[in-house]
Amino acid sequence: MEESDSEKKMEKENLGPRMEPPLGEPEGSLGWVLPNTAMKKKVLLMGKSGSGKTSMRSIIFANYIARDTRRLGATIDVEHSHVRFLGNLVLNLWDCGGQDTFMENYFTSQRDNIFRNVEVLIYVFDVESRELEKDMHYYQSCLEAILQNSPDAKIFCLVHKMDLVQEDQRDLIFKEREEDLRRLSRPLECSCFRTSIWDETLYKAWSSIVYQLIPNVQQLEMNLRNFAEIIEADEVLLFERATFLVISHYQCKEQRDAHRFEKISNIIKQFKLSCSKLAASFQSMEVRNSNFAAFIDIFTSNTYVMVVMSDPSIPSAATLINIRNARKHFEKLERVDGPKQCLLMR
Amino acid sequence: MDVCSPLPSALDFVGVARLTCRLCPKQQQAKAACGFLGPQSPPAGRSLLTLDLDSADGDRDQGTATCHGAARQTRESARAADWQERPGGGSGLVSEQQESWSNSMGGASCPVDEQQDPRQERPGGGSGPAAASAVLDFSDPFSSEVKPRILLMGLRRSGKSSIQKVVFHKMSPNETLFLESTNKICREDVSNSSFVNFQIWDFPGQIDFFDPTFDYEMIFRGTGALIFVIDSQDDYMEALARLHLTVTRAYKVNADINFEVFIHKVDGLSDDHKIETQRDIHQRANDDLADAGLEKIHLRNERGKAMGQTEFLFLFQNSGIEKAFLFDVVSKIYIATDSTPVDMQTYELCCDMIDVVIDISCIYGLKEDGAGTPYDKESTAIIKLNNTTVLYLKEVTKFLALVCFVREESFERKGLIDYNFHCFRKAIHEVFEVRMKVVKSRKVQNRLQKKKGATPNGTPRVLM
């Protein structure tokens, strides 16, 4: 069947090598029970059937282009995928099929299994849905289950397929929905995003989601800030390597375009996909004109960096050397945090 | 760019030079005339050259912005708008066409033209854009260089307007779903925003050739090329019949027309089906036309990507460049390449690269107050791929960019490549300068003639 093939394909693409416990300790031994689970974050992806959950997941994590999602079939029950993120973080993504029978199942017999230990719940609403009552009913059932089993979970609501709405009405409709959802979610807090697989809003939403899951994001940002100040950059962005979601950034002055992060994610990801048609992938990029110079390069084993300089008199070689030197520092940062965090947890 | 400096090279004029607007005292007027407010906002309701398109992404409109040129163009398109908006009907159509035809042939008084004249009298070549547009003015009725005309014909819903919008107006293919049926002949000038200069006439699908009010002789006579679009996903027998009819008629009037057949919407077909369809159409079309003696039918089947036709040799072997293209940045048509064969994937990669460069430059490449343009003199880009190829893009003129593929080892000697490029760029500029001089002198001649008192339709008046 097609969808099980696609599932298999995605499983293969996402499952990276299992993380080895450091110091050669055997897995599962008393000292290291947690590393594999401590850095595994469970993400629930729920929503009505046909709302776009599997499509979104394929685009962000499995390198599908928007057009390819057309051939995805209905998800049967729950599809698990493990996404390696930033080396020491594994996202355990539970894509739950949205058909009625499955949904009923989740709330009854599979309740504990599904709703326990959840870090993030992503609920997807189809903006064109004609059964708003039913959607809200299911959403509330989810929330109840979450409240019982994982009260600390973060909740994200995505109002999806916004491209089907007229452009001038999009803000209005989204605001309405957002208010309703906020109201319904009390006492839990939810963050709402409007998304569409055809533009950059998808990246914005998922960037924010993933940002919440990164364990040492403050430290990353501090280091990024130092780096930027030393090399006199206008802006420095850190992207996750496979998905090109912006995980951290620093800017030294106000930039005009507030949506640039997701736009850049989108632009680069599209280019990456078109390179792959030629069985190649891009390693680095430099774009300049008389007002700026931007450098995109591989940074650590899990990240890309983008450095934007507004002083065109600084030769590219200088910036490239700086990036190269910073690389070692950030690599160390990434490596150190993993086990240290685990030690703390133990 | 300083306003009162001597006229910059032809391709530095209007189009992307927002800076000149700021300095020119006529700026306020130009802004009002063209309704163009700034880089963030798309031209209110209309782009400068066409009537019904709002660029989906307002940020990108900078590529097509003009200032003084716009004052002129919008007036012209405003007239065209009146022309288009008049209620349908055969007779209406003919008179309008004749009016616009006579205008372009140097006919009735053109109020806009008068307005240009005082500006040209200013010393030092006048305000950059206005004078430049006057010098290299293709829409000037008195210009002896009439723009080549391309007709887009085909059945209803075959994709003619979509093709035009996607290629020349940077519309995303997804948005073409929302385009409405063309019900009038839509005449568009592709000149100020792009290197390629011509007029495109987009025809409605159901054209009745036998309608006496539709003067085809006139249309076909001035045409350089006729593009017939066939929808490959539909049954194309009717399209072929119409193709035959159109081509025979056009050929009778003007045997010099180049005919092109676009087999459109092939993205929906599988690969072998594509080839089969192409062969089938080619065969049938040629059979039909065998008796008319027309053998040159070229088949193109890319969605929204037309390929340029000129190729000339230039030597880049010494720099270690494997492949080079001279691209028109806005329409992503390449106007020249070296003599090695071109494959689609390479071409597409170059297009994607240009997209990336322009998009990133739009985000970061403008000055703080939004001035400047994303694609300017210093635009360069280097993209390194993991298969040891390096893509190198460098600006050549305001509309053209050189995109080349270099091997990584050769790229070590970047200085050499840059030097060779510098020579190449200078040469291209010289070529354009020569051309401009020729046109300019012709222009001056025409103006003198006009002053001497030629009547609008060309007959000399008796000097008093």
One domain, residues B190 and B285? yes
Q: Band of the pLDDT at B442, cuts 50, 70, 90?
A: confident
Minimum-distance CB partner of B380 among A257, A277, A288? A288
Q: Which residues are B199's β-sheet partners?
A: B149, B189
Element (H, E) at A271: helix A260-277
Residue B109 clears pLDDT 90, i.e. is over it: no
**Nearest CA among B459, B456, B451, B452 for reference residue B109:** B456
What would the mean pLDDT of B385-401 be, rounded to a whole number?
87
The answer to whether residue A280 neighbours chain B at the CB level (below 8 Å) is: yes
Residue, of B154 and B385, whose pLDDT is higher: B385
- Residue-by-residue DSSP string for A15-36: --PPPPPGGGPPTTSGGGSSHH
Residues 6+ apart with CB under 8 A from B365: A289, A291, A292, B372, B373, B374, B376
How is chain A split into domains, by residue range? Answer: 39-213, 217-334
C-alpha–C-alpha distance, residues B148 and B162, integer Å: 21
pLDDT of residue A295: 92
Residue B14 clears pLDDT 70, i.e. is over it: no
Does the residue B189 lie in any domain? yes
Given the cut 0.90, state whether the ipTM is greater than it: no
Q: Band of the pLDDT at B456, cuts 50, 70, 90?
A: low
C-alpha–C-alpha distance, residues A50 and A45, integer Å: 13
Q: Are B385 and A267 inside 8 Å of each other by CB? A: no
One domain, residues B181 and B264? yes
One domain, residues B402 and B277? no
pLDDT of residue B237: 81
Chains A–B, number of C-beta pairs less than 8 Å apart: 98
pLDDT of residue A296: 93
Residues 6+ apart with CB under 8 A from A45: A53, A56, A57, A93, A94, A95, A96, A122, A124
Backbone angles phi, psi at B216, to 5 degrees: -75, -30
The answer to whether residue B54 neighbours chain A at the CB level (below 8 Å) is: no
The answer to whether residue B408 neighbours chain A at the CB level (below 8 Å) is: no
Residue A38 clears pLDDT 60, i.e. is over it: no
Minimum-distance CB partner of B381 among A263, A264, A286? A286
One domain, residues B260 and B220? yes
The answer to whether residue A315 neighbours chain B at the CB level (below 8 Å) is: no
pLDDT of residue A285: 92
What would the mean pLDDT of A223-230 be, rounded to a whole number?
89
Minimum-distance CB partner of A289 among B174, B365, B383? B365
One domain, residues B280 and B224? yes
Average pLDDT of chain A is 79
pLDDT of residue B303: 33
Does the residue B163 lie in any domain? yes
Query: Residue B360's closest chain A neighbor by CA?
Result: A264
pLDDT of residue A286: 92
- How far apart, in Å, do the first and last CA atoms of chain A sit? 44
Backbone angles phi, psi at B384, to 5 degrees: -100, 125
Query: Residue B370's closest chain A neighbor by CA?
Result: A256
Of all residues in chain B, what percent carry a pLDDT higher than 90?
Answer: 2
Query: Residue A274's closest chain B neighbor by CA?
Result: B349
pLDDT of residue B107: 30
Does the residue B389 lie in any domain? yes
What would the mean pLDDT of B10-19 be, rounded to a whole number?
29
- What's the token pair of residue B443? 């222009």
Of A285, A289, A309, which to mutate for an interface test with B (greatest number of B Cβ within 10 Å)? A289
Between strands A303-309 and A293-298, the pairing is antiparallel
C-alpha–C-alpha distance, residues B407 and B413, integer Å: 11
Write out pLDDT tens, residues A308-325: 988 878 888 888 888 888
pLDDT of residue B271: 66
One domain, residues B321 and B270? no
Last residue of a domain, one of B232, B261, B292: B292
Q: Burial of B9 by CB count in 10 Å (0-12 exposed, 13-18 middle, 19+ buried)?
A: middle
Q: Band of the pLDDT at A307, cuts 50, 70, 90?
A: very high
Residue, of B245 and B27, whose pLDDT is higher: B245
Residue, of A287 and B104, whose pLDDT is higher: A287
CA distances from residue B179 to A315, B22, B56, B188 in whole angstroms, order as listed: 46, 35, 12, 16
Cα of A111 to nearest chain B Cα, Å: 41
Q: Are B387 and A274 inside 8 Å of each other by CB? A: no
What would the mean pLDDT of B360-388 be, rounded to a whole number?
83
Lowest mean pLDDT among A237-241, B157-161, B315-319: B315-319
Query: Residue A282's closest chain B neighbor by CA?
Result: B385
Residue A223 clears pLDDT 80, i.e. is over it: yes
| CATH for B285 | 3.40.50.300
Query: Residue A308's closest chain B neighbor by CA?
Result: B364
Does the residue B61 lie in any domain? no
Minimum-distance CB partner of A291 among B348, B372, B385? B372
Top mean-pLDDT range of B48-57, B101-110, B261-270: B261-270
Does the residue B247 lie in any domain? yes
One domain, residues B239 and B164? yes
Q: Band of the pLDDT at A200, cuts 50, 70, 90?
A: confident
One domain, residues B205 and B334? no
Does the residue B333 lie in any domain? yes
Write out pLDDT tens, residues A142-166: 888 888 888 888 889 999 988 888 8
Cα of B10 to nearest chain A Cα, Å: 21
C-alpha–C-alpha distance, residues B354 and B361, integer Å: 10
Residue A26 clears pLDDT 50, i.e. is over it: no
pLDDT of residue A217: 79
Residue, of B221 and A266, whose pLDDT is higher: A266
Write out pLDDT tens, residues A80-125: 888 877 767 788 888 888 788 888 888 888 888 888 888 888 999 9
Class of domain A39-213: alpha beta
Number of domains in chain B: 2
CB contacts of B379 in chain A (<8 Å) are 288-289
Task: Enter the DSSP assignment of B460.
Answer: B
In this structure, which topology does domain A217-334 adopt according to CATH? Beta-Lactamase (3.30.450)
Q: Band of the pLDDT at B103, cuts 50, 70, 90?
A: very low
Q: Band of the pLDDT at B426, cuts 50, 70, 90?
A: confident
Lowest mean pLDDT among B132-141, B429-438, B444-453: B132-141
Does the residue B425 lie in any domain? yes
Residue B63 clears pLDDT 50, i.e. is over it: no
Task: Enter the DSSP assignment of A296.
Answer: E
The answer to whether residue A288 neighbours chain B at the CB level (below 8 Å) is: yes
The answer to whether residue B62 neighbours chain A at the CB level (below 8 Å) is: no
Residue, of B387 and B36, whose pLDDT is higher: B387
- What's the token pair of residue B102? 């006579």
Write out pLDDT tens, residues B164-221: 777 767 666 666 766 777 777 777 776 655 556 677 778 777 766 666 666 777 777 7
Q: Which residues of chain A from 186 to 225 reach within 8 Å of chain B, CB to CB?
A: 198
The answer to whether residue B270 neighbours chain A at the CB level (below 8 Å) is: no
The answer to whether residue A107 neighbours chain B at the CB level (below 8 Å) is: no
Lowest mean pLDDT among A188-192, B295-299, B381-385, B397-401: B295-299
What would the mean pLDDT of A190-218 be, rounded to a whole number?
84
Minimum-distance CB partner of A267 among B59, B360, B370? B360
One domain, residues B248 and B349? no
Cα of A290 to nearest chain B Cα, Å: 5
CA distances from residue B268 to A161, A187, B250, B260 in whole angstroms, order as listed: 23, 49, 31, 21
Minimum-distance CB partner of A283 among B365, B379, B386? B386
Does the residue B205 lie in any domain? yes
Residue, of B411 and A192, whose pLDDT is higher: A192
Average pLDDT of chain B is 61
Write out pLDDT tens, residues B117-163: 333 333 333 333 333 333 333 333 333 345 677 888 888 777 788 77
One domain, residues B175 and B217? yes
Q: Structural domain of residue B374, as residue ranges?
A: 312-440
Q: Are B360 and A289 inside 8 Å of each other by CB? A: no
